[in-house]
């Protein structure tokens, strides 16, 4: 299917021409037909070629209904621009052209209507002059009369040639801008719109923006025919399950989950704008028209903050309109949907300089290089990277991040420096925690530390990030104190030093924890430390006892106190070497015999 929007001044015969081409009435409201003036969007379709359908979005031409007109042309890439032969170029012809030029519409046909009432030549020449310098310069012109039928066949042929020359829809996720919402008895809420990208299937879950609510596709119609699946470009009626009609309206959008983020601030390149713009305007994109706050950054750059979040991608085009003056003041191209903060003096000027050097549609490598590091999903939702694309060349990928190679090298060196500094300042610590390492090294996400540690020749384990030599360097007094404890335990393996002994030797909990990490001691419980081989020796001795045995028997076999014996037995229980039979007796398990 192809979709073409109309454009042109009020009462120049747009709806009459669509009616003549399709045999359908595009004006949906009785008031429109009574007044003979389109006030809202109309829809009709016909077959211009063998089996290809062409749908027309008929837009109002009156100045009061420009918002409705923009909702119709926003999602469409081709236009039938209508000028009356007996009136020529008029005010709304100019505003419609300004809007189409700002939206970069480049495919169209000039239809000069009412050619039975006046010579179409002057109107064609005048229109061509006005179209010159815009994206519609040089489009074919056809003189036509919907009343007499003059030129209708030529117009159909020219429109058919137009559709055949239209580029294929750019690949991308599904997004349908809603232009109508109504209720059907027995079916519920139905919305219509132009599906400009992606595919929608019955049963799909979609997100409704700006609410972000998940809705399910109950049914689909394309040109009043039930379908199970529809792809871009097409006019669709979508029956939504479990949604009230007043919960969705024109300007909302149905989008593929995970493919768009709700944009609350964007940096844009301005097109055909004055040096300064009003601080409050109306933003038009797709079928949406929302209030927007404008902050000028430079002569052709601005930051836009819409009152309602919008599902947008980098590279999209929209309009800024002054609702008071009732005219388009600028077009814009979205350059950044995740702009940085502007807090310091000169930030706005520097940002404008950066935006001036950016392309409308950057490559992944360009976007990563500009940001240093960015989450992959963020680039997908910005439209820079497709969800199914392979990891791009020229960037480092790790932990869901895309990182510029220069930044990766800087992080690697910084992590190595941080680990060395930590080891020098904390000789009893086996390593620095990943979160702390990331913070000190300026690494964006601690989840990247593992990959960076491997790059730097460091080790990341449960103890933290450290060098490959994991031996702990104890200060000489602490080393001598530990040697004294170990010598005593070699003579009496279960004579764990008490709190007074540890204090006398100057051993704090931190020193003892480091000794455990280094494998010098093992911790049985708080305040009870033995040599690493103590549990095995304990089992060997209780194995010689009659089974089952009591705490007192084990304590005697180990030549120790209850302070040590009880937690040591509980330690052996946890290891599965012994098992309690009742409150007084234990037995060796089969595995430890």
Low-confidence ranges of the chain (pLDDT < 70): 26-40, 49-51, 60-75, 325-326, 461-463, 467-472, 591-593
Q: Which residue, of 114, 136, 165, is where some domain finishes?
A: 165
| Torsion region of 457: left, alpha or beta (phi above 0 gives left; psi -120 to 50 gives alpha) | left
What is d(CA 404, CA 395) in angstroms, rounded to the nearest whole number? Answer: 5
Please give the tally of structural domains in the chain. 5
Q: Which residue, of 337, 361, 385, is where some domain finishes?
A: 361
Q: Which three-class secondary structure string do you get for 456-518? A: HCCEEECCEEECCCCCCCCCHHHHHHHHHHHHHHHHCCCCCCCHHHHHHHCCCHHHHHHHHHC
Which residue has 């990928």 as its token pair? 397
CATH of the domain at 182: 2.40.30.10
Tokens of 431: 């390593």
Same domain, 375 and 415: yes
Report the Cα–Cα distance between both ends of the chain, in Å, rounded: 80
The 8-class DSSP code of residue 225 comes to E
Which residue has 């919402």 as its token pair? 181
Same domain, 446 and 326: no
Helices (H), 290-404: 347-356, 364-371, 376-381
Same domain, 90 and 206: no
Residues 6+ apart with CB under 8 A from 406: none
The pLDDT of residue 36 is: 43
Phi, psi of 195 (to 5 degrees): -85, 105
Q: At CB < 8 A and 24+ separation, what contacts does 294-298 make?
A: 294/320, 295/348, 297/267, 297/348, 297/349, 297/351, 297/352, 297/355, 298/348, 298/349, 298/352, 298/353, 298/355, 298/356
Is residue 190 in some structural domain? yes
Helices (H), 74-187: 91-102, 120-131, 152-165
CA torsion 25→28→30→31, rounded to 10°?
-110
According to DSSP, the residues that pair with 195 across neighbouring strands are 176, 234
Same domain, 243 and 350: no
Q: Which three-class secondary structure string do you get for 46-82? A: EECCCCCEEEEEECCCCHHHHHHHHHHHCCCCEEEEE
Same domain, 36 and 84: yes
Is residue 128 in some structural domain? yes
Residue pair 360/170 in contact by the 8 Å Cβ criterion: no
Same domain, 202 and 224: yes
Residues 6+ apart with CB under 8 A from 488: 495, 497
Which residue has 């020193």 as its token pair? 511
Report helix angle 405-425 to 449-456, nearest 10: 80
The 8-class DSSP code of residue 341 comes to P
Q: Which residue, of 473, 501, 526, is where some domain finishes?
A: 473
Is residue 144 in some structural domain? yes
CATH of the domain at 91: 3.40.50.300
Instruction: Establish how many alpha carbons lie within 13 A of residue 586's alpha carbon, considering only the half-sphere containing its beta carbon.
Output: 27
Is residue 468 in some structural domain? yes
Domain that holds residue 17: 2-165
**Burial group, residue 556, by CB count within 10 angstroms (0-12, 13-18, 19+):** middle
Is residue 479 in some structural domain? no
Same domain, 366 and 334: no
CATH of the domain at 552: 1.10.10.10
**β pairing state of 317-322 and 327-336:** antiparallel
Same domain, 116 and 241: no
The pLDDT of residue 264 is: 96
Report helix angle 449-456 to 434-441, nearest 10: 80
Tokens of 466: 């450290």
């Amino acid at each position: 299917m192809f979709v073409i929007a109309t454009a042109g001044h009020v009462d120049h015969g747009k709806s009459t021409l669509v009616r003549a081409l399709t045999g359908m009435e595009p004006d949906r409201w009785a008031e429109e037909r009574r007044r003979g003036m389109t006030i809202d969007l109309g829809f009709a379709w016909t077959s211009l070629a063998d089996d290809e359908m062409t749908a027309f979005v008929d837009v109002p031409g009156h100045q009061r209904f420009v918002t409705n007109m923009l909702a119709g042309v926003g999602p469409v890439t081709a236009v039938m621009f209508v000028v009356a032969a007996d009136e020529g170029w008029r005010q709304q012809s100019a505003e419609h052209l300004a809007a189409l030029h700002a939206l970069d519409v480049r495919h169209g046909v000039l239809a000069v209507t009412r050619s039975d009432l006046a010579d179409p030549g002057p109107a064609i020449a005048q229109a061509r002059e006005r179209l010159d310098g815009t994206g519609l310069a040089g489009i074919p012109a056809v003189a036509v009369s919907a009343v007499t039928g003059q030129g209708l066949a030529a117009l159909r042929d020219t429109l058919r040639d137009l559709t055949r020359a239209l580029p294929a829809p750019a690949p991308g996720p599904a997004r349908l801008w809603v232009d109508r919402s109504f209720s059907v008895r027995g079916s519920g809420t139905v919305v219509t719109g132009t599906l400009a990208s992606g595919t929608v299937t019955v049963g799909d879950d979609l997100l409704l923006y700006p609410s972000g609510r998940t809705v399910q596709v109950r049914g689909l119609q394309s040109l009043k025919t039930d379908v199970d699946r529809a792809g871009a470009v097409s006019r669709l009626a979508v029956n939504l399950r479990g949604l009230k009609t007043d919960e969705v309206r024109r300007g909302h959008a149905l989008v593929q989950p995970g493919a768009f983020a709700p944009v609350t601030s964007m940096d844009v390149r301005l097109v055909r704008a004055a040096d300064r713009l009003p601080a409050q305007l109306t933003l038009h994109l797709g079928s949406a028209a929302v209030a927007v706050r404008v902050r000028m950054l430079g002569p052709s750059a601005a930051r836009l903050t819409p009152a309602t979040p919008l599902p947008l991608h980098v590279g999209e085009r929209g309009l800024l309109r002054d609702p008071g003056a009732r005219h388009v003041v600028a077009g814009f191209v979205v350059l950044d949907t995740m702009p940085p903060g502007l807090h310091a003096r000169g930030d706005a000027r520097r940002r404008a300089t950066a935006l001036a050097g950016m392309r409308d549609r950057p490559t992944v490598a360009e976007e990563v290089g500009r940001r240093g590091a960015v989450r992959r999903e963020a680039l997908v939702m910005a439209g820079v990277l497709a969800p199914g694309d392979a990891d791009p060349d020229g960037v480092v990928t790790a932990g869901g991040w895309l990182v510029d190679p220069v930044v990766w090298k800087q992080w690697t060196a910084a992590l190595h420096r941080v680990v060395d500094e930590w080891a020098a300042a904390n000789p009893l610590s086996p390593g620095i925690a990943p979160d702390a390492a990331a913070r000190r090294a300026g690494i964006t996400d601690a989840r990247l530390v593992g990959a960076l540690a491997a790059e730097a020749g460091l080790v990341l384990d449960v103890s933290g990030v450290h060098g490959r030599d994991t031996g702990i360097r104890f200060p000489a007094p602490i080393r001598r104190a530990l040697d004294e404890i170990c010598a005593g335990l070699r003579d009496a393996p279960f004579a764990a030093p008490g709190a007074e002994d540890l204090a006398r030797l100057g051993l704090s909990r931190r020193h003892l924890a480091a000794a455990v990490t280094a494998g010098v001691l093992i911790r049985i419980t708080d305040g009870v430390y033995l040599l690493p081989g103590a549990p095995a020796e304990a089992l060997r001795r209780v194995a010689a006892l009659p089974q089952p045995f009591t705490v007192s028997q084990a304590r005697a076999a180990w030549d120790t106190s209850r302070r040590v014996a009880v937690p040591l037995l509980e330690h052996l229980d946890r290891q599965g070497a012994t098992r309690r039979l009742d409150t007084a007796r234990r037995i060796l398990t089969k595995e430890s015999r």
